[in-house]
Amino acid sequence: MLIMRYLLGERLHFNWRIVAVTVLSTLLLMVDAYHRLTPAKVYDRLILYLAIPLLTILVAFREHPGKYGFGFGDWKVGGLLTAAALVLVTPVIWLTARQTAMQQYYGSQLPGLPWTTFFDLLGWEFFFRGFILFTFTRKFGPDGLWLQAVPFALAHIGKPEVETLSTIFGGFAFGWMAYRTRSFIYPFLLHWFVATFAILVAAGVLG
C-alpha cells in the first residue's frame, strides 16, 4: 500500500469542465481536419464549432450560453473596439494579402462571398472566443486569453506562413475583445471583415 501511494503520488483533482472542453475541442478540430460531414466545409463548422458546443453548454453543463459570450454583452465598448480595430487592420491586411502566398491560397475563394466567410467564422469564433475562452478564463483568469490562442494558432498550420505566425497574437487580441465585452460577436465581426477583405484583395478585386 505504501509502495502504491509512493508511485501514484498525490491524488489528482480535475475541473471536469476544463477536461471536457479541452478534450472535446481537440477532437472537434481533428474531425474538421480529417473528415467532411456535409458537402460544404462552412456547414461542417457550424455543426462542429457552434451546434455541438452550444448543446454541450445547455445539456452537459446546464448553463446559459450567455455565460460563454453568446450574446451582445457590452455593445457600446464592443462597437468602439470593432471600429477602432477595423481602422488599424485594414491597411495591414491590404498589404499582406497582396503577397504571392496569400494570393495563391485565397485567390480562388472569391465565389460565395461574403456568406462563405460569415458561416465559416460564426462557429469558428464562438468555438474559440466563447466556448473555450470563457471556460478557461473562469478557471484561470486572464491567463485563459493565451491558452485559447494556442489551439487557434495551431489550427492555422497549412495556411500561408505570414498569416499563421500572426495568429498567436491575433488570437489573443480576438480573445481580449471577447473577454472585455463578454461576447464573441465583436471578434467575429472583425474576423469576418478580415477574411472577406483578404480574399477580395488576394483575388485582385481590390488590388
Mind giving me the DSSP string for the chain? Answer: -HHHHHHH-SPP---HHHHHHHHHHHHHHHHHHH--SSSSHHHHHHIIIIIHHHHIIIIIS---GGGGT-S--SHHHHHHHHHHHHHHHHHHHHHHTTSHHHHHHHTT--TTTTHHHHHHHHHHHHIIIIIIHHHHHHHHTTHHHHHHHHHHHHTTBTB-HHHHHHHHHHHHHHHHHHHHHT-SHHHHHHHHHHHHHHHHHHTTS--
Please report, as a single letter, which amino acid is at residue 55. L
Assigned domain for 10 exists = no
Assigned domain for 127 exists = yes
**Residues 6+ away with beta carbon under 8 Å from 203:** 103, 106, 107, 108, 109, 110
- For the chain, what is the domain count? 1
What is the model's pLDDT at position 6? 61
Assigned domain for 64 exists = yes
Assigned domain for 88 exists = yes
Assigned domain for 3 exists = no
What is the model's pLDDT at position 15? 94
What is the model's pLDDT at position 206? 84
Nearest-angstrom CA–CA distance, 151 and 137: 15
Q: Which domain holds residue 113?
A: 16-202
Assigned domain for 180 exists = yes
Assigned domain for 106 exists = yes
Q: Along the 207 residues of the chain, how does pLDDT read in single tens digits?
A: 566 566 566 678 899 999 999 999 999 999 999 999 999 889 999 999 999 999 999 999 999 999 999 999 999 999 999 999 999 999 999 999 999 999 999 989 999 999 999 999 999 999 999 999 999 999 999 999 999 999 999 999 999 999 999 999 999 999 999 999 999 999 999 999 999 999 999 999 886
Assigned domain for 207 exists = no
pTM over 0.75: yes
